[in-house]
Amino acid sequence: MHDANASRAAGNSLPLQASAVLVNRVGLHARPSVKLTQCAKRFAAKIELALDPDGPWTDAKSPVKVMRVKAPQGATLHLRVAGPDGEAALAAMLALVNDGFGEA
């Protein structure tokens, strides 16, 4: 059991990457940025976002940095996650973006 946990943790610490389109009307402005960083902070994993799959990457746990990205509606948000709870973190982040941050 100990071994199983260790290998799962090691397997999940490879960076995971995924993308989602910003569907909410205002894009990644103040309120969605706050929700995104709050979501990211629930996880231990390192979570970064970018408008281009080649970066530059922004720390998704920093509300100031996330707001500075100024991602508009329709932009594709790339997420890169690394850490033992990375899979759950990526799923939660994607769900939040796909849900339009609850504001459509």
Partner 1 sequence: MSSSNSGNVGIVIVSHSHKIAEGAADMVRQMVGDAVPLAWTGGDIDGGLGTNVAGILEAIETAWSPAGVAILVDLGGAETNSEMAVEMLAEDRRGRVVVCNAPVVEGAVIAATESSGGSPLAAVKRSAEEFYA
Sheet holding 46-50, edge to edge: 16-21, 76-82, 46-50, 58-59
Catalytic-role residue among 19, 23, 26, 29: 29
Q: How far is the CB of 7 from partner 1 (least distance, A)?
A: 29
Residue closer to partner 1 (CB basis): 35 or 78: 35
Residue closer to partner 1 (CB basis): 19 or 88: 88
Rounded to the nearest 10 degrees, the angle between the axes of helix 30-40 and helix 86-98 is: 160
60: nearest Cα among 49, 75, 68 = 49
CA 30 to centroid of chain Cα atoms: 16
Q: Which residues lie near partner 1 (CB under 8 A)?
A: 30-31, 34, 37-38, 41-42, 61-65
Residue closer to partner 1 (CB basis): 25 or 41: 41
Q: How far is the CB of 83 from partner 1 (least distance, A)?
A: 15
* Token output for 21: 């389109």
Active site residue 2: no
> What positions carry a catalytic annotation?
29
